[in-house]
Structure 1
Amino acid sequence: MELNKTSESRVVAFLDIGTNSIRLLLVRINPNGSYLPLTKQKEAVRLGDKGFIDKILQLKAMERAVIVCKKFMELARAYKAEEVIAVATSATRDASNKVQFLEMLKKEAHLEVCTISGNEEARLIYLGVSNEFRLGHSKALFIDIGGGSTEVSIGDQKQYFFLHSFDLGTIRLTNMFLPDETGPVSLERYEKIKAYIRYKAAEVVKELSRYRIGCTIGSSGTLENLAKIAFVYLHRTSSGNYDKLGYEDLKKIVRDMCALSLEERRKFPGINAQRADIIIAGAAIIETFMEKLEISEIKISKSGLREGLLVDYLSKSEFSHLINQMSVRKRSIMQLGLACNFDEEHAHIVTRLALELLDSIQALGIYEFREEERELLEYGATLHDIGMFLSYDTHQSHAYHLIRESSLPGFQPEEIEIIANLAYFHRKNMPKKKHSNLTGLNNDTVKSIRVLSALLRIAESLDRSHNGIISHVRFYIASTRSLVLEIHAQWECQLELWEVEKQKKYFKKIFGYNFQSKVIVDQGVETLPVLYTF
């Protein structure tokens, strides 16, 4: 559906009616194409409970789902949502009484729901999850374990190459192999589950094996919970990131959980008690795939189908360039800048000048930048002023907090720290080693912040008037320990030069060079060089 161009923001609701849970994402989409997630909600309803043997949704399960959908629709109305996009997956599409369920939702919750195919589910999950990671042209395997089905896909940043949906889900397999099981699960029973999964997935696993995979990314509540269990149980602490799941760790926790009764399993370190009865089946699915495809570790994503619905929605709008023509990292940066109503023209000018400074320093052999530092300088320069809408006097501090507290899909935590601190140190305070912002950061991260901020401070000074006077800038060597900063300007730029002068001392401390400013004023075909020495 096309978004109509409008001068006002709009709120859109995205609902994923799954076999185990119903998920809601409410998003405010702004006229400039940025979007702000307003709330994410999730409720376990067990829509597929006892429903996969005879493919009939149980009345109580449907009633639970309707109650949750009514609550979510009330929330959407409270946020004044103009559109609601709702899809139903495995349990609904397989049910012989799905028409009855869809009519209940329409009549009682005033909700129109579209039932999607397994392949469409896999496509939307790919869109939602790939949007969170920096993949480039490297292919990744995506695995999502739901209550009724497991979706797999292979894709890079721009496109998918393979989609498939298996009738293998945590609730489906629990109903088949562990119905009403309250005691320990024998290893023989567990191996039977795995054998069934191997049988059902054999042909597709062969197909997946033909691809060269750079990494594997898993999504869904089941995988998130298994990663948390592995971390908490094996490290004996609940403080940390549950962003990966190792094969050896998985085998260890599964066998220890199988040895427990259901009641004891509910108390297992890190477990979501509501998943205790279905976690064994979920573990069997992912362990089997990891075995057959020789996967040693899976990265865990918190995104999924509902985020894919958002990406799909935007890709069909006038803002499709934000989705289709930008890398996930560039898109994250632009989304945050647009959401903060930043001065986009000034940000682009400062970014261009900062990168020209870095490139000339690199070309002269004065400093060897790490490969990723140029990109991080670009993003720090783009976002350096985003705190302006809160306060001019302390906008650098607001920018720092806005960047650190934003999710910024595609970035590692230490990269976010560098970008945030570049915004913080672009004016006023210098990044001294003992500054509180730098406490706890590793030496490489602190070094990047100090070196890149020296360039960003000069670039910001060169557009002090926000008039875009400076067209190009570069350093060249004047003598053994002295440089010339050659500035091409459209007209005289005394204010910019005055600001640049303030940065010389810190530049020398970082790079070991003094510099003089030489301005070349471009006037039609004539250029007038003027050398400024302070």
Structure 2
Amino acid sequence: MEPEKISEGRVVAFIDIGTNSVRLLLVRINPNGSYQPLTKQKETVRLGEKEFIDRILQPEAMERAAFVCKKFMELSRAYRVEEIIAVATSATRDASNKVQLLEMIKKEANLEVCTISGSEEARLIYLGVSSGLRLGNSKAIFIDIGGGSTEVSVGDQNQYYFLHSLNLGSIRLTNMFLPDETGPVSEERYEQIKAYIRRKSADIIKELSRYTVNFVIGSSGTIENLAKIAFVYLHKTAHESFEKLEYEDLKKIVRAMCALSLEERRKFPGINSQRADIILAGAAIIETFMEELGLSEITVSKRGLREGLLVDYISKSEFSYLVTQMSVRKRSIMQLGLACNFDEEHAHTVSRLALELFDSIQALGIYEFEESERELLEYGATLHDIGTFLSYDTHQAHAYHLIRESNLPGFQPEEIEIIANLAYFHRKNTPKKKHPNLEGLSKESVKSIRALSALLRIAEGLDRSHTGIVSHVRFYIASTESLVLEMHAQKECQLEIWEVEKHKKYFKKIFGYSLQSKAIIEQTAGTPLIFKGNVEIEEMPRD
């Protein structure tokens, strides 16, 4: 379905009718191409309950799915949704009575649903998960365990190389091997499930083994819950972020859960009680894949099909460049800036000047930056003013909180802290070592924030008037103790010069050099050299 041109912004609903759950993502897509998730909802409906023996969806399961779709449609209307994209996956595509389900949803919820193939499901999951990762040209294997099927793909940041859907899912395998199991699950029964998975996936495992990959990413509620269980049960702490699932941990928690009855399993540390009856079958899938591929751990992603529908939608709109021409990190930064209605021209000017200062001081050899710091300075400079739409007077504090709370896809938590603190310290306070913002950060991160903010403060001052007067800037060495900051400007830039003056003391504290300013102004020929205080202004003829 190709969306119309997004001209005035619109609210779009993305609905994923899965075998276990129905999921909703409501997004406002703004006229500038940015988008804001309005709500994410998920309801367990067990659409595939008792289906996979005779390929018939049960009446009660269909009624539950239709009821949730109706509720999601009511919620969508409350947000004044303009477009709805709804897809159904494994349970629906495998059912002999799927037409009955689709007609029921159409009648009860007034919702048209498209049933997608397994390979299309794998493609959309790849889009949704990869769009939140920094992969570059590195290939990754993506594994998503659903209720009825498991989707696997291989891809890098920009394209996929392999897509496949297997009829292996947590509900499907529970129906086959543990249909009415309420007691403990024997080791023999669990091994039977794994042997079946191994047979069914042998050709795909062989195909996946041909690729050289740097990452293996697992997604879905099953994998997320297993990672949480491992963290809570083995590490005795409740934590919101479960970034890894280790093979050895997985084996330990599976052994512990198999020994319990279903009722006891529902109370297992970290478990989603609604998954207690199907979690072991799901665990058998990922455990078998990890064994066959020789994986000691997988990275866990909370993204999936819903996010893939959104990425696919944007890639077909006038804002496709946000998906096709930007790295995931650049896209994250631009999305946040656009969502905050930032002054894009000023942001780019300050970013460009900050990078010129960085490259210049690096070339002089008076300070040794890490390679990654250049990119973080660029992003801190891009977002430094995003808090102004809330309050100008304290916009640096608002920018800090907006960046920290945006969970920028593609960035590590420590990198987000650096970017947020660069925005915070671009004006007013300097990053003193005991500042509360810096508590808990590594020494390396604090050092980065202190050095990079010294450059960002000057770069921001060089566009104080927001008119892009300063076109080019560089440092050069004047003596063993001082540097000259040479500014090329299109006209007199006294305001910018005054701003730079404010930051010389902090610059010297960080880099050990005092700073002189020299402005070269391109004007008419024959104008004499002008000196103002310790600032040298030279007016050059234009070509």
TM-score when scaled to structure 1?
A: 0.98
Aligned residues: 534
CA distance in 2, matches of 1:526, 1:245: 71
Where 2:154 maps in the other structure, the secondary structure is: strand
Which residue number in structure 1 is paired with residue 220 of structure 2?
Answer: 220
Where 1:372 maps in the other structure, the secondary structure is: helix
Which residue number in structure 2 is paired with residue 37 of structure 1?
Answer: 37
Which residue number in structure 2 is paired with residue 154 of structure 1?
Answer: 154
Q: 4+ runs of 1 displaced by more than 6 Å?
A: 524-529
Superposition RMSD in Å: 1.2
Which residue number in structure 1 is paired with residue 540 of structure 2?
Answer: none
- Answer yes or no: is the 8 Å Cα contact 1:520–1:530 preserved in 2: no
Which amino acid is 1:413 matched to? P
CA distance in 2, matches of 1:267, 1:298: 25
Which residue number in structure 1 is paired with residue 242 of structure 2?
Answer: 242
Distance 1:531 1:264, change over 3 A: farther
Alpha-carbon distance, 1:240 to partner: 5.1
Where 2:341 maps in the other structure, the secondary structure is: coil
Q: Identify unmatched segments of 5+ residues in structure 2.
A: 536-543
Alpha-carbon distance, 1:524 to partner: 6.8
The correspondence of residues 331-410 of structure 1 with structure 2, limited to 5 A, is: 331-410=331-410
- Answer yes or no: is the 8 Å Cα contact 2:6–2:318 preserved in 1: no
Where 2:138 maps in the other structure, the secondary structure is: coil
- Answer yes or no: is the 8 Å Cα contact 1:230–1:249 preserved in 2: yes
CA distance in 2, matches of 1:431, 1:395: 16
Alpha-carbon distance, 1:526 to partner: 8.5
Where 2:347 maps in the other structure, the secondary structure is: helix
CA distance in 1, matches of 2:251, 2:354: 49
CA distance in 2, matches of 1:91, 1:529: 79
Distance 1:525 1:319, change over 3 A: farther
CA distance in 2, matches of 1:179, 1:445: 53
Which residue number in structure 2 is paired with residue 88 of structure 1?
Answer: 88
Where 2:471 maps in the other structure, the secondary structure is: strand
Which residue number in structure 1 is paired with residue 489 of structure 2?
Answer: 489
Which residue number in structure 2 is paired with residue 52 of structure 1?
Answer: 52
Which residue number in structure 2 is paired with residue 274 of structure 1?
Answer: 274
- Identity percentage over the alignment? 80
CA distance in 2, matches of 1:204, 1:508: 60
Alpha-carbon distance, 1:15 to partner: 0.2
Distance 1:139 1:466, change over 3 A: same
- Answer yes or no: is the 8 Å Cα contact 1:450–1:510 preserved in 2: yes
The correspondence of residues 46-445 of structure 1 with structure 2, limited to 5 A, is: 46-239=46-239, 241-445=241-445
- Answer yes or no: is the 8 Å Cα contact 1:520–1:527 preserved in 2: no
Distance 1:48 1:240, change over 3 A: closer
CA distance in 2, matches of 1:135, 1:525: 52
Where 1:15 maps in the other structure, the secondary structure is: strand
Alpha-carbon distance, 1:241 to partner: 2.3
- Answer yes or no: is the 8 Å Cα contact 2:6–2:317 preserved in 1: no
CA distance in 2, matches of 1:234, 1:190: 21
CA distance in 2, matches of 1:266, 1:529: 81
Which amino acid is 2:385 matched to? D
- Answer yes or no: is the 8 Å Cα contact 1:519–1:530 preserved in 2: no
TM-score when scaled to structure 2?
A: 0.97
- Answer yes or no: is the 8 Å Cα contact 1:5–1:31 preserved in 2: no
Alpha-carbon distance, 1:239 to partner: 3.1
Alpha-carbon distance, 1:531 to partner: 5.8
Which amino acid is 2:66 matched to? V
- Answer yes or no: is the 8 Å Cα contact 1:3–1:318 preserved in 2: no
Where 1:151 maps in the other structure, the secondary structure is: strand
Distance 1:527 1:402, change over 3 A: farther
Which amino acid is 1:465 matched to? S
Alpha-carbon distance, 1:414 to partner: 0.6
Alpha-carbon distance, 1:5 to partner: 4.0
Distance 1:518 1:67, change over 3 A: same
Alpha-carbon distance, 1:523 to partner: 2.9
Which amino acid is 2:437 matched to? N
Q: Identify unmatched segments of 5+ residues in structure 1.
A: none
Question: C-alpha offsets along residues 66-91 of structure 1, whole Å, 9 cap, x if unaligned?
Answer: 00000000000000000110000000
Distance 1:11 1:40, change over 3 A: same
Question: C-alpha offsets along residues 245-267 of structure 1, whole Å, 9 cap, x if unaligned?
Answer: 00111011111111111111111
Where 2:478 maps in the other structure, the secondary structure is: strand
Question: C-alpha offsets along residues 331-381 of structure 1, whole Å, 9 cap, x if unaligned?
Answer: 000000000000000000000000000000110111111111100000000
- Answer yes or no: is the 8 Å Cα contact 1:520–1:528 preserved in 2: no
Alpha-carbon distance, 1:243 to partner: 1.5
Which amino acid is 1:401 matched to? H
- Answer yes or no: is the 8 Å Cα contact 1:340–1:386 preserved in 2: yes
Distance 1:527 1:354, change over 3 A: farther
CA distance in 2, matches of 1:342, 1:25: 25
Which residue number in structure 2 is paired with residue 25 of structure 1?
Answer: 25
CA distance in 1, matches of 2:206, 2:142: 16
CA distance in 2, matches of 1:62, 1:273: 22
Question: C-alpha offsets along residues 481-524 of structure 1, whole Å, 9 cap, x if unaligned?
Answer: 21111100001100000000010000011011111111111237
